[in-house]
Structure 1
Amino acid sequence: MPAPASPDRPRRGRRPAFTREEITAAAVALADAEGLDAVTMRAVAARVGAGVMSLYSYAPDKETLLELMVDQVGGELLPPAPLGGDWRADLKALARDQRALMLRHPWLPAALTTHRTALGPNTLAMLEHALTALRPLPLDGAAKLEVFSLLTGFVASHVSHELTRAAAADAPERAAAEARRLAAVAADGHHPELARALAAPGRPLTPEATFTRFLDRLVDGLDTPPGAEAGTPQHA
């Protein structure tokens, strides 16, 4: 497991004019406004009025800066809501908080899924919160860590899809065209299962409703009987 992010102090040199939190906040603001690709050491330095070389006292490279950004915005989830004792409800509440955080910071899903990130103090606090919520679940510790990773990956993927659709000006037209194409395919007689699926009653397609349905299926399916995760056959 990666080491936690280092504390707020430069690696060397004279006393800095900025704190690590201020540098990180500037990088977060830049990513929020212009996207993750806009975050360069030069651009962040210009935003805070510092020399580029001075930033390397706080972060030796962009990956380290990104780790600091991820952990800083993760602090928005702290302190987490008190656990209610129902691990399913508690885990779903965490996922909804993660989704809201990623929608506030649209660069975060990509940062979590395409870049290495160390576990800073805020991320560790949320991991501890999730593991505490999962205490009643009959899984071993490694599996519970995987559950946290699975949940976060699901939320990041879903939010990425939401943001992509929201940014597409022709999203409604494309969705309608795809629905017509599927209906035509289902009517050709060669895809009976697809035809049955499309004949089922429709469901609300708002981002919130879709997220809730997917989240329910994911979390409610985690209650695996002891031994099942190791491949033990289960009988009805």
Structure 2
Amino acid sequence: MSERTGAGEPSRTLALLWGTAPDAPRKGPARSLTVDTVVGAAVGIADERGLAAVTVRAVAERVGVSAMSVYTYVPGKPELLDLMVDRCYLAMDRTPWTDQPWRDRLRAVAEDNRRLLTAHPWLTEVAALSRPPLGPGVMGKYEHELAALDGTGLPDVETDAALAHLLGFVQQHCRAVHDAARATTDSAMSDADWWAANRPVLERALDPAAYPRAVRVGTAAGEAQGSAWSADHAWAFGLERTLDGLAALVGR
């Protein structure tokens, strides 16, 4: 089940994202951490163990304070998730734009986002379409990627939709790669090993007379890709077809 951004209290989240949250008066010793330290610890846990492992208690253990102390930096996990997403967006690669054709610029946008989601696979589990955390990372990323569509002649609404369409492809592809990697880890068996182990059963069950297209096409694809599904082949094919679709829109 996906987590979603924007589930926290908006004014408090935005204040934390932009560093305008006032220091609440409190008794006791001075605070020993920063919000950035807490968020960095949460990102580290998510990268190592997945998003489900990110709890206030786990973050507290990582930074060496009590769970109650963490709440003096962030109100709760919903706000923490927004800060984690924005931090990753702020630090991601951003290919500089010069005078490349728009198609090359969008290909670079896709590749930059692919690297981001490969480095932080848990981001593929975060739904952030309708209520993204509008912090400096999100806004900087959006501004930069919109600029990749400069010169296409698309009106503003279609520019936004074209970018969302491209990023949707990247998100779904990387989620599929993430799920495939988890399946391999959970089964302790690579795809190649799985097909080799089940080949005798499959050869008996998959009758070419009953499934002529499935057997012919599936065999050709499997031989070409080395397995039933190749992440690299799916990426190259899907990205070019996505750009082809946008080319029809731009050419219109």
Match of 1:210, SS state, is helix
Give 2:125's match in structure 1, choosing from 86, 91, 110: 110
CA contact (8 A) 1:23 1:44 kept: yes
State yes or no: 1:223 paired with 2:244. Answer: no
1:34 CA drift (Å): 1.3
Verify: 1:64 aligned to 2:79, yes or no: yes
TM-score of the pair, normalised by structure 2: 0.73
Q: Secondary structure at the match of 2:73?
A: coil
* Residue type at the aligned position of 1:82: W
Decide whether aligned partners of structure 1 residues 115 and 137 sit closer, same or farther in structure 2, where only a CA change above 3 A counts. closer
The 1:182/1:37 distance shift into structure 2, 3 A limit, reads farther
Retained in 2: the 8 A contact 1:70–1:108? yes
Distance in 1 between residues matched to 2:105 and 2:203, nearest whole Å: 37
1:175 to partner: Cα distance: 5.3
Whether the 8 Å CA contact 1:109–1:156 is kept in 2: the answer is yes
Q: Aligned with 1:8: secondary structure?
A: coil
TM-score by length of 1: 0.77
- Give the partner amino acid of 1:164: D
Paired position in structure 2 for 1:208: 232
Query: What's the Cα RMSD here?
Result: 3.4
Alignment of 1:8 onto 2:19: yes
Q: Deviations over 1:173-200 (max 9, x none)?
A: 445769x9699768346775x5775586
Aligned to 1:231: none
Q: Does 2:172 correspond to 1:160?
A: no
Is 1:150 the counterpart of 2:169 in the alignment? no
Q: Are residues 220 and 226 of structure 1, via their aligned partners in 2, closer, same or farther at CA, if it must alter by over 3 Å? A: closer
Q: Say whether the 8 Å CA contact 1:87–1:136 is kept in structure 2.
A: yes
1:82 aligns with 2:97: yes
Asked if structure 1 preserves the Cα contact closer than 8 Å seen for 2:55 and 2:77, the reply is yes
Distance 2:68 2:131 in 1: 23
How far does the alpha carbon of each residue in 1:78-114 deviate from its partner, in whole angstroms, 9 at most, with x for none?
Answer: 5533344311111111111111111111211112469
**1:234 corresponding residue in structure 2:** none
- Quick one: distance in 2 between partners of 1:126 and 1:114? 14
Equivalent residue number for residue 147 of structure 2 = 132
- Spell out, residue by residue over 1:4-29, the C-alpha distance to the aligned partner (whole angstroms, 9 max, x if none): 84323555234532111111101001
Partner of 2:49: 34
For residues 210 and 148 of structure 1, the distance between their equivalents in structure 2, rounded to whole angstroms, comes to: 20
Q: Percent identity?
A: 31
Count the aligned residue pairs.
Answer: 225
Q: Secondary structure at the match of 1:221?
A: helix
Assess, with a 3 A threshold, how the Cα gap between structure 1 residues 214 and 227 changes in structure 2: closer, same or farther.
closer
Q: Note closer, same or farther for the CA distance 1:214–1:183 as it changes in structure 2 (3 Å cut).
A: farther
Partner letter of residue 21 of structure 1? D
In the alignment, is the contact (CA less than 8 A) between 2:60 and 2:70 conserved in 1? Answer: yes
Asked if the contact 2:94–2:112 (Cα under 8 Å) also holds between the matched residues in 1, the reply is: no
Cα displacement (A) at 1:212:
1.7
Determine the C-alpha separation between the residues in 2 that align with 1:66 and 1:83.
Answer: 34
Report if aligned partners of 1:10, 1:58 keep a CA contact under 8 Å in 2.
no
**Deviation of residue 213 (structure 1)?**
1.6
Structure 1 distance, partners of 2:144, 2:21, is 30
Question: Letter of the aligned partner of 1:29 in structure 2?
Answer: G
Distance 1:148 1:56, change over 3 A: farther
Q: Please list the CA deviations of residues 116-157 of structure 1 after superposition, one character each: whole Å capped at 9, or x if unmatched.
A: 541221121111111111123343222222222222222222
* Pair 1:63–1:150, CA change in 2 (3 A): farther
| Residue pair 2:106, 2:148 contacting (<8 A) in 1 also | yes
Gaps of 5+ in 2: 1-5
Is there any run of 5+ residues in structure 1 with no aligned partner, and where?
Answer: 229-236
